[in-house]
Structure 1
Amino acid sequence: MAGSQTNWGVLLELSGPGPKHAQLARALRTAIRGLEDGAAVPPSRQLAADLGCSRWVVTQAYAQLVAEGYLDGRTGSATRVRRVGSAAEPKPPVPVKQPRHDLAPGLPDLRHFPRQRWADAVRGVLATAPHTDLGLPGKAGHPRLRATLAGYLRRVRGAETDDVVVCGGVTDGVTRVCRALREKGITRLAVEDPGWTRLWRAAESTGMGIDPVPVDDEGIDVGRIPRGTRAVLVTPAHQFPTGTVLSPRRRAGLVAWVRDVDGLVLEDDYDAEFRYDRRPVGTVQGTDPGRVALFGSVSKTLSPALGLGWVALPPQWTLSGHAPPVVDQLALAAFVESGGYDRHLRAARLRYRARRDRLVDALGPARLSGAAAGLHLVLHLDRDAAEVKRSAGEKGVKVADLDDYRSAPGAPALVLGYGNLADNAVETAARLLREAAG
């Protein structure tokens, strides 16, 4: 049976337990056993249209089967069947070509990580911490860092909290809160669409069902949260990836909704530290600390390699899991207490604003949105975004397709991150991207 002649929409049946991408992976395992080695499977966008599901579902299923050895996926080429247990000679690994210019969102400027000040904080902790601090960390985190973070959030973000749990980052925190939600019988989570699909997957991994809710120029449309859903994940300060700020009307509606359903708002304080046109709005958590869990991390301000984040929890909630290493926790506490973290953020804001301005100028008369804050912007296109992304990749420029963060395809656009883009490469990267966009 040749892959090009297969009626995939009829052949594949999505059923059984688990999320849709797991159902599709099971169906594909069965289907490709009848295909020849090297047969091409449909492009993810085409199969998503045939099956009536999101492209994300297909890409996740393909990635799972590539990892298991059923499929062979290569950048710039079709995904093909690889016979498990075939006697054919193994193909040599294809070297991964690193992009010369990384405009994918999600990273801060790693070149300006405060290495010396962080090393000083670690040395200070090792020199002064009592030996009792070198044992197993408490599940909620070290008391010193918890108190330091609570004070920081009250001072800088208008949060109302005395109870902060230290975790490995926002993804870890969301995963732990979703487990707690399920223990209380809350099994569905509304999410912003488009939004961070990484957090969608984290919630799904705990058994939560996902309800995508549209985002417009006021933020998440609270009135479209499905009836029966009692938890919602939002990024009100700077929505990812659209860049919108949750409007006062929607903020009030969100608080009214969570009180009405007796549920929980999971507030990801994404990119709140980087606002360029005015001061960032305060947290929703400060409005109703008894029904909002506030998440944050140093992944976008210092580095994701540190693996340090926090959750400000309503008092009635407790989380399972493990805190990060104590030495790292105490180093962050010292860094914040010394004022080093505030100074780092002030310098970073100036650097990112200047880089954003240069990128906007270099892109020329392009349709842009979401540039007022954060470390990314959205470039709206007149042609297929996947084609532009592929063409840009061939030129050494890494970008993200907005469809990668949607539950279903929409108007073509790219998400451009400039956090980790070298200053001396801004104009070159923009020129190559303009060429790719045609």
Structure 2
Amino acid sequence: MPNHRATSALDLHLHLDRGDGTGLRRGLTTALRDAVRTGRLAPGTRLPSSRTLAADLGVARNTVADAYADLVAEGWLTARQGSGTRVADRPVTTPSRPVAPPRTRPRPTYDLTPGTPDLASFPRAEWLRAARRALARAPHEALGYGDPRGRPELRTALAGYLARARGVRADPERILVCAGFTHGLALLAAVLRERGVRTVAVDEYGLDVHWNVLTRAGLRTTPLPVDAHGTRTTELTPARGGPGAVLLTPAHQFPLGVPLHPDRRAAVVDWARRTGGVVLEDDYDGEFRYDRQPVGALQGLDPDRVVHLGTASKALAPGLRLAWMVLPSALAGEVVAATGGHHRCGVLDQLTLAEFLSSGAYDRHVRASRLRHRRRRDQLVAALAARAPEVRPTGIAAGLHAVLRLPPGTEETVVRAAAWQGLALHGLSPHRHPEAGPAHAADALVVGYGTPPDHAWSGALDALCRAVP
């Protein structure tokens, strides 16, 4: 019988459904069966022991053992004492020719796109305990339609947390809980339009999703240059017809990763005071600073001119759809009215997050996440220094992504090479505003290091180092 090299856990993991225990067993069984049926696992191949494969995949050993037993019973595998588990001798089914063009890119193996944390690290047990406590304590009226601003328990907990951790001057009465950052931005855009604002200044590098939200509300976006000190807010002028609002990421500019310089913070607040403009502060990556104390929120300089927007998407998970706005008193009533009197966030999740914040579980989880992401960042920097010294990582003092500077003219080629290595990542150029002036930044990649689960991180690093020059 041939003694083929045992298959790697990576190959088996590609299509593994990581749901509950039953889903994991079913997903692993399906992945193994398909690998045998299509010939990826040749007859006679010896599989890893159940202990080894379980450790590599991060699942229970019984899950692997049960999947092996199912496939032995179906005749796909054989198991003999002293010989381990092997692929049974049987005809291999050749897959039919795909309809797609012959050189379609492979399905990404590793996700290095920015903006998403490692979802496998979501604190399920702690969240479940908080949910039980919150539901047990919730009054009956909490299950009704409620306040369009969100549950008072969550708004109160957020006010305390934001004041302590981000330096935000927050009154629970002026906090509105929303279903994600874009939902909050859409509400603000509608209010600004009603107030007569026609133009919003934005960073020349950012997210087109946010620019599109403003555009759909009937607002024009005009870009401000970004350099090593952050957005050049000194270029905001009180001229008639100028922007009536500005959207910034002052804690950690996305995607370039620089904090807004103190002089420029003062400049944008001064602009808002002189013109009556509104500053929309996206607190992007505000909780994830590694090399010094966190940069305080811009809102603390002038709560009457700055709207502070935050979200649980990075610290917990985007699927929760929980975000918040701390509103100036002059805007609060209009933004609440823009909700139509309806709230879009589930009450139970709001109550659970309030309990999570109040109990200290949120702080503990953020501290653990900060340490894990700092280790990943350090491993990324070390791997590039050893294997791709021409590639310079920047914007790494905070956040869940790095900008990798590339030789001029190579960005598009490297992005294509990364796709063929099974990597999903972004180049810098798609994040550039279409009306921005002449480019001043070198070609670059925007690499998120938060998304891959722990067992896949080293493989993702290897693939990245193969793709870059």
1:253 maps onto 2:267 in alignment: yes
Are the aligned partners of 2:392 and 2:405 in contact in 1 as well (CA < 8 Å)?
yes
SS in structure 1 opposite 2:403? strand
Give the stretch that moved more between structures: 365-374 or 336-345: 365-374
Where 2:246 maps in the other structure, the secondary structure is strand
- Distance in 2 between residues matched to 1:137 and 1:417, nearest whole Å: 38
Q: Secondary structure at the match of 1:286?
A: helix
Match of 1:429? 460
Whether 2:351 is the aligned partner of 1:330: answer yes
Q: 1:143 aligns with which of 133, 139, 152?
A: 152
- Determine the C-alpha separation between the residues in 2 that align with 1:234 and 1:144: 29
1:174 match:
185
1:229: Cα distance to partner? 0.8
Which residue number corresponds to residue 112 of structure 1?
Answer: 121
Letter paired with 1:392: A
Q: Give the corresponding residue for 2:446.
A: 415
Taking the aligned partners of 1:224 and 1:325, their CA distance within structure 2 comes to 41
Q: Aligned-pair distance for 1:97?
A: 5.2
C-alpha separation in 2, matches of 1:219 and 1:373: 14
Deviates more, 1:375-384 or 1:262-271: 375-384
Distance 1:335 1:200 in 2: 32
Write the distance in 2 (CA, Å) between the matches of 1:355 and 1:388: 22
Q: Which residue of 1 aligns with 2:410?
A: 384
Query: Matched residue pairs, number?
Result: 348
Alpha-carbon spacing, 1:96–1:414, altered in 2? closer, same or farther (3 Å)? closer
Query: What RMSD, in angstroms, separates the aligned Cα atoms of the two structures?
Result: 1.8
8 Å CA contact 1:169–1:297 kept in 2: the answer is: yes
* Separation of aligned partners in 1, 2:403 and 2:372: 20
Match of 1:40 in 2: none
Aligned counterpart, 2:10: none
Cα distance in 2 for residues equivalent to 1:116 and 1:136: 28
Alpha-carbon deviation of 1:93? 7.6
TM-score (norm 1): 0.76
Q: Does 1:404 align with 2:430?
A: yes
SS in 1 for 2:310: strand
Say whether 1:99 aligns with 2:120.
no
Give, in whole Å, the separation in 1 of the partners of 2:353 and 2:457: 31
Matches within 5 A, 1:21-420: 98-162=107-171, 163-225=174-236, 227=239, 228-317=242-331, 318-319=334-335, 320-321=338-339, 322-364=343-385, 365=389, 366-382=391-407, 383-408=409-434, 411-420=442-451
- Give the 3 Å change call, closer, same or farther, for CA 93–294 of structure 1 in structure 2: farther
The whole-number CA distance in structure 2 between the counterparts of 1:92 and 1:161 is 57
Q: Please, what TM-score do these two structures have when normalized by structure 2? A: 0.71
Deviation at 1:96, TM superposition (A): 9.2
Deviation at 1:176, TM superposition (A): 0.7
Aligned residue identity for 1:331: T
Q: Distance in 2 between matches of 1:205 and 1:418?
A: 32
TM-aligned CA deviation for residue 289 of structure 1: 0.2
**Residues 161-210 of structure 1: per-residue CA shift (max 9 Å, x gap):** 20210001111111111111011111211001111222111111211111
2:106–2:419 CA contact under 8 A, matched in 1: no
Distance 1:358 1:437 in 2: 16
Is the alpha carbon distance of 1:124 and 1:93 closer, same or farther for their aligned partners in structure 2, counting shifts above 3 Å?
Answer: farther
Give 1:326 deviation, angstroms: 1.0
Q: Aligned partners of 1:93, 1:205: CA distance in 2, in Å? A: 35
Q: Which amino acid aligns with 2:264?
A: R
How many angstroms does 1:428 deviate by?
3.1
The SS at the match of 2:247 is strand
1:251-297 residue CA offsets vs partner (Å, 9 max, x unmatched): 11111111111110000111010111111111110110000000000
Which residue does the alignment assign to 1:54? none
- Asked if structure 1 preserves the Cα contact closer than 8 Å seen for 2:154 and 2:353, the reply is yes
Q: Shift of the alpha carbon at 1:433?
A: 2.2
Moved more, 423-432 or 410-419: 423-432
Equivalent residue, structure 2, for 1:71: none
Larger radius of gyration: 2
TM-superposed CA distance for 1:397, in Å, is 1.0
Cα contact 1:358–1:426 (8 A) shared by 2: no
Matched letter for residue 141 of structure 1: G
Question: 3-state SS of the aligned residue for 1:415?
Answer: strand
CA offset digits 1:332-354 (Å, max 9, x no partner): 00110110000000111111101
Contact 2:256 2:395 in 1 (8 A): yes
Which residues of structure 2 form unaligned runs of 5+?
1-97
Determine helix, strand or coil for the equivalent of 1:371. coil
SS at match of 1:119: helix
Q: Distance in 1 between matches of 2:106 and 2:320?
A: 26
Identity %: 47
